[in-house]
Structure 1
Amino acid sequence: MGNAYSSAFSRSTQQFFTNEVDTVEHLRVAIFGATFVGKSSIVSQIVSKTFPLEHKTTLDETVILSLASDKGVENVRFLDTSGTFVFPAMRQLYIANSHIFLVVYSLDMENSFEEARKIVNEIQEQRPNENIPILLLGNKKDIPKEEREISAEVADLLAIDWDVTEHIFTSAASYEDNVNVLRKILSYSTEVSIRNRTSSRSMQNRFNSACRKEM
């Protein structure tokens, strides 16, 4: 982020929205996508400038990044989802209570592009007419063309009809690419109503109720 921001982050498996942060404004960013597309690597680069060398299965992990500037502090709460949802109600809650969405696919996995389309449709169907920022991320732009199962040109053409906010090609291995993603997130943060930033007790009650139904 250059010299404009200083940052700190914390990593936890706590719930994406909890009563403990009721007094803190958080920009909630949910990261969706199929397994093995690089969601966790993207988050890791954004918050700690590190790139995991081995894939580890993620179980809906929450990472909080605090960015300080002369304009104040922006607390970004990332939800790094697993890519598989045993409890559909959990996915619906994440969609209902997020401010910005990152939907990730990988250029070397054509099926992940189709999964991204389904996720985008689900978000739009669940939250129609809300103009929620959806950033579609095509990961692994750095791999050779012969290793790609879908070209960037075809993906860009097909994604036009998805009505996403932006379609960005990135590499999870590149810190600069992922800083650019963070800049995009922050550029849309001003569009998120402050009164929707804080977690509410009713939100937590819906979370607990959904969990009981799925058990």
Structure 2
Amino acid sequence: MCSHSSDKKYRIVVMGSAEVGKSSVVQRLLNREYSDGYIPTVEALYPLTEEKPTNCEQISIEILDTAGAYNFPDMQRIYISSANVILLVFSADNYDSFKEVLRLIEVIGKQIGNKMMDIHILAVSAKSDIDPYRHKITLAEAELELMQWNIPVVETSAKENTGFDFLRSLISAYIGKMNTGCHDKPKHRLSRLLSKITKSKSADEDEESV
């Protein structure tokens, strides 16, 4: 039987401008269907839990899909302080959304200072399926800009469901580095867990969890 004395919980926080496809990125991470419709996100929290009948601890992951308008700085600070992994999403056809990613990196740096290395940050370029002539920020340009912080950029298309296996593998590798007390390979366990949603709920129904 599993012993849960050293259970591990990790939080992935998804941030970025409004209407860049954050919710579509989350849905694809969870192997859900893509929808063309746009519904503004208030906040949505997706808990995932894996049970292992071994000596390993139980692994739990929460994915927090945040609202695009950060009108309340205190909430933004809570998002950052609660995160183990932060996905900063921008749209390839919207340079202002990339500027928001740069602003958020600055905010994160000011908030956590020397602990910047304790949080794994990934930039996600969404909507890569759009016509290249409409791209306002290319993958190469984004990579060059974010190189100074050693932040990798993953190019995705929720519409075509591309880039998400690689994104899941990076998230699993990051969390796996934090989860070293198990004989089973944490990256493999986390990949399985990220592809299986057990339940979902709105974060505003459980404010204390944030």
TM-score exceeds 0.5: yes
Q: Give the C-alpha shift of residue 104 in structure 1.
A: 0.6
Match of 2:174 in 1: 188
**Match in the other structure for 1:177:** 163
Query: Residue 24 of structure 1: CA displacement?
Result: 5.9
Within the alignment, does 1:128 sit opposite 2:113 as a pair?
Answer: yes
Specify the alignment match of 1:95 in structure 2: 80
CA contact (8 A) 1:133 1:164 kept: no
- Mapped to 1, the partners of 2:159 and 2:86 lie a distance apart of 21
Q: Distance in 2 between matches of 1:62 and 1:175?
A: 21
* Structure 1: distance between partners of 2:153 and 2:51: 27
The letter of the residue matching 2:120 is: P
What residue ranges of structure 2 are gaps of 5+ in the alignment? 1-5, 181-206
Measured in 2, the distance between the counterparts of 1:65 and 1:89 equals: 26
Provide the aligned length of Structure 1 versus Structure 2: 175
Structure 1 runs not aligned, ≥5 long: 1-22, 195-206, 209-215
**C-alpha deviation, 1:129, in angstroms:** 2.2
Q: Secondary structure at the match of 1:129?
A: helix
* TM-score relative to the length of structure 2: 0.74
Contact 1:47 1:65 in 2 (8 A): no
Instruction: Give the Cα separation in 1 of the matches to 2:113 and 2:87.
Output: 17
Equivalence map 1:9-158=2 (5 Å): 25-67=8-50, 73-130=58-115, 131=117, 132-158=119-145
Looking at structure 2, the residues matched to 61 and 24 of structure 1 have their Cα atoms a distance apart, in angstroms, of 23
Residues 156, 165 of structure 1: CA spacing in aligned structure 2 closer, same or farther, 3 A cutoff? closer
TM-score by length of 1: 0.72
Provide the alpha-carbon RMSD of the alignment: 2.7
Paired amino acid for 2:167: V
1:68 to 1:135, Cα distance in 2 relative to 1, 3 A: farther
Decide whether aligned partners of structure 1 residues 24 and 90 sit closer, same or farther in structure 2, where only a CA change above 3 A counts: farther
